Amino acid sequence: MGEIGIPIHDFYYELRWWEVKAIIRGYNARHHHGWEQARLVAYNAHFCMGSKNPIPMVTEWIKFPWEQKKTNGDGFSHIDAAEVKRLKQMMIEENKKNGF
């Protein structure tokens, strides 16, 4: 599924939510250094000639997900509400098929 590469069947039927969360955290951690490096290069290229305004700290200029907490009110972070609704509907349909 997506960039992480989890097969859709595994995501829907095999993995538990805590396992998906661990996979996503591992994916983010794997690319953490590259993202930090790209941010620093972009920051230096942007502000190398100086500025009339005060130059912000590099962490204030571009923020990464691991530097801030975001929730959409129902406890999920970085998950689209439409995706949550779709997954809930799919789970309800699967439960009906299995007699639950």
pLDDT digit string (tens) for the chain, length 100 residues = 667 777 777 777 777 777 878 888 888 788 888 888 998 998 888 888 777 778 888 888 888 877 766 555 555 556 677 887 888 888 888 888 877 6
Q: pLDDT at position 37, please?
A: 92
Q: What angle do CA 91, 95, 97 make, to 5 degrees?
A: 120
* Widest distance between CA atoms in the chain: 67
In this structure, what token pair is assigned to residue 21?
A: 């969360």
Q: How far is CA 62 from the centre of its chain?
A: 16
